[in-house]
Amino acid sequence: MDLETHFVPLDKSKHDLKSFDCGIQSMNEYLSRFAGNHQKKGLNATFVLTSDVGTNGKAQIAAYYTLANSAVEKQKVPIETSLPNYSMPVILLARLAVSKSFQGQSIGSKALVYALRHAYRINEEGLPSLGLVLDVLNDDALRFYQQFDFFKVMSEKPKRLFVSMKSLAEL
C-alpha cells in the first residue's frame, strides 16, 4: 500500500472514515462518527495520512490526529517559569491513532512529530500556547510516548503529559 507523504485535513467526501481500524474501538468510533462533525462545528481539527483509494472510491486512512484548544491551571504546568496567576492556553493533542495495517512501521512516530510540528506552527502563526498537552489512553500509549524524552508528566490520574513550545521549537 502506498502512503501519501503528508497529513491533510479530514474530508468526509474524500476519506474512508468507516473502514479505519486501529484496534481501539473508541478511537475508530471517534473518527467514523464524530471527527467530521466536530471539525464542522469548529471544536477541533482532524488530520489524516492516507493510502490507496479503496473500492468505495475514497482514500483509506493510515493514521490520524486531532488538535484542539485547551487550557491548564498554572500550578499544574511542569516547567520552571514565571507565569501569571490564571489558566494557561495550550494545544491539546486530543487523538492520535494508526491503522492496524500500518502499525509497527514507525507511522505513529511520524504522526506524532507531524502533530507536534503542526501545533508549533499554530503557535508561531498567532495563536500563542504555552505548550501541548495530551491524555494517555492506556499503557501501550504510555510506552509509545515515553520513547520521546521531551514529555513531562502533569498528572498521574488521568496520565497527562506536557511538552513546552520551547521544546517543540527544537523539533
Provide the domain count of the chain.
Answer: 1
pTM of the model: 0.93
Geometric angle at alpha carbon 69, from 154 and 106, rounded to 5°:
70
Instruction: Answer yes or no: is pLDDT of 3 > 70.
Output: yes
DSSP 110-167: HHHHHHHHHHHHHHHTT---SEEEEE--SHHHHHHHHTSTT-EEEETTTTEEEEEHHH
Q: Is residue 27 part of a domain?
A: yes
- Whichever domain contains 33, its CATH number is 3.40.630.30
Residue 114's domain spans which residues?
8-168
Quick check: helix, strand or coil at residue 41?
coil
Q: Is residue 3 part of a domain?
A: no
pLDDT tens per residue, range 96-138: 999 999 999 999 999 999 999 999 999 999 999 999 999 999 9
